[in-house]
Amino acid sequence: MQVTFVGAGYVGLTSAAIFADLGHKVWVLDVDERKIRTIRSGKEPFYEPGLGERIKRTVESARLIPSTSYKEAIPEAVATFICVGTPSKENGETNLSYVFSAAGEIGKNLGEHYTVVVVKSTVPPGTTDRVGEMIEKLGKRRGIDFDVVNSPEFLAEGSAVKDTVNPSRIVLGVDSEKPIPVLRELFKSFKDVPTLICDIKSAELIKYASNSFLATKVSFINEISLIAEKFGADVTRVAEGMGLDDRIGSKFLKAGLGYGGSCFPKDVASLLFVSNHAGYDFGILQAATKVNCEQRKRFVGKIKEKLEDLKDKKIAILGLAFKPESGDMRKAVSAEIIRSLLNEGAQVSVYDPAAMENAKKEDFAEDIEFSNDAYAALKGADCLALVTEWKEFAELDWKKVRRLMRGNLIADGRNFYDPVDLRESGFEYVGIGRN
């Protein structure tokens, strides 16, 4: 099948490369010329494990065709996926301008044959219908035959390739039977994956409900961490005991600095916005958001309590990306922590294996020290603050670290380290909800 993915981000480009690998002829379309040039050269425009080799292989075989032209990429496609960004506005409302811009261009360029347009971007209920109305209005003059459906993505940055090859489920939101044969043919390589066919508005809401539930689960265990500290319990053991109940499960029960990234914050904000707009006060999500914000403040407060005064104290931040195996700094917890430390007068050095270039674009970049490795960041530091739990940070030479640091405080924002081992090595350890 000939397929087009509009948007060469984590969802669009990853999906395009994998569908090309499955043997389809795939166009990946983006208005960012620099990004498309990078893909044409067989390279990935952002860090994502396992994506680079797939891009190289499929571009060289001409199964993946990067383009900036709707006129090239749209007319012959049997299915066109909208995978553009849906960032939040200041009030939490979803900015749908990229979705509607893509819909307009698709409407102008659809071919004469029947086409299925798949909205894969995360959008509020009702958006897919509006996309269909826009395409119909633009295509009426030519009598275009098409359907618009919704199929939310469930991949995670850092594991996007794995999640696309082996998805947890496939959700297809349709309002008629006509597009189903095309969709079944398109997804036939995923025959063992649970598939739900439902109405469009339910499909749109499934993605918001899923991410908001996981965000709430993160905030819940962070609340439990506060209770654990007050009673001298260990939240890691509490979470382990909870996770053994298969009704609860262990995923997203790690106490730490809370959730960040490009999905959870905006999806929670969007669901709160549409709920308020519909006249419903979503109290649980409001509480989850509040807990998430407070968690970062508490972490800086723990460091300040141990060092007494942060002015002129050097804090080495290990990990900048919002999660390991990603270079993404969007809504990264590290950014909030760095700003708070700078406001307290601290000196901040940082290191991350993949996010350094993106971090240099942040508003605080001129006020911090970027280091070439973890040891360089730790030289002369009063505190090591672990923010993103990259595997390489588990393999530090602690004797070397102790020699390099001026102080001995380890502030473990992800409960990544063994407190006993570090204390035996001469460090003072502070974690989240650990006795």
Q: Which amino acid is at 245?
A: D
Same domain, 332 and 389: yes
pLDDT at 191: 86
Same domain, 189 and 335: no
Same domain, 128 and 189: yes
Count of structural domains within the chain? 2
Same domain, 250 and 152: no
Same domain, 334 and 402: yes
Same domain, 283 and 174: no
Q: Are 172 and 180 in contact (CB under 8 A)?
A: yes
Mean pLDDT on 232-251:
97
Residues 18-50: tens digit of each pLDDT? 999 999 999 999 999 999 999 999 999 999 999
Structural domain contains residue 222:
no
Same domain, 410 and 296: yes
Mean pLDDT of the chain: 96
Structural domain contains residue 203:
no
- Is residue 140 very low, low, confident or very high in pLDDT (cuts 50, 70, 90)? low
Order of strands, edge to edge, in the sheet holding 2-6?
64-67, 25-29, 2-6, 79-82, 115-119, 146-150, 170-173, 195-198
pLDDT at 435: 76
Active site residues: 263
- Is residue 206 very low, low, confident or very high in pLDDT (cuts 50, 70, 90)? very high
Residues 160-198: tens digit of each pLDDT? 999 999 999 999 999 999 999 999 999 999 989 999 999
Structural domain contains residue 188:
yes
What is the rounded distance in angstroms from the CA atom of residue 413 to the CA atom of residue 430? 8
Structural domain contains residue 229:
no
Mean pLDDT on 215-241:
97
1 burial class (0-12, 13-18, 19+ CB within 10 angstroms)?
middle
Structural domain contains residue 404:
yes
Residue whose tokens read 């382990």: 240
pLDDT at 387: 98
E strand or H helix at 176, and its extent?
none
Residues 75-103: tens digit of each pLDDT? 999 999 999 999 999 999 999 999 999 99
SS3 letters across 79-100: EEEECCCCCECCCCCECCHHHH
The proportion of the chain whose per-residue pLDDT surpasses 70, expressed as a percent, equals: 99
Same domain, 179 and 297: no
pLDDT at 148: 97
pLDDT higher than 90, residue 55? yes
pLDDT at 115: 96
pLDDT at 197: 97
pLDDT higher than 80, residue 139? no
Residues 336-378: tens digit of each pLDDT? 999 999 999 999 999 999 999 999 999 999 999 999 999 999 9
Same domain, 69 and 180: yes
Structural domain contains residue 128:
yes
Structural domain contains residue 282:
yes
Q: Which of 389, 400, 304 is nearest to 346 (CA)?
A: 304
pLDDT at 138: 80
Domain that holds residue 80: 2-198
Same domain, 133 and 181: yes
- Is residue 141 very low, low, confident or very high in pLDDT (cuts 50, 70, 90)? low
Structural domain contains residue 36:
yes
Same domain, 280 and 377: yes
pLDDT at 119: 98
What is the rounded distance in angstroms from the CA atom of residue 310 to the CA atom of residue 116? 57
Last residue of a domain, one of 198, 222, 253: 198
pTM listed for this prediction: 0.93
- CATH number of the domain residue 277 falls in: 3.40.50.720
Same domain, 242 and 172: no
- Is residue 137 very low, low, confident or very high in pLDDT (cuts 50, 70, 90)? confident
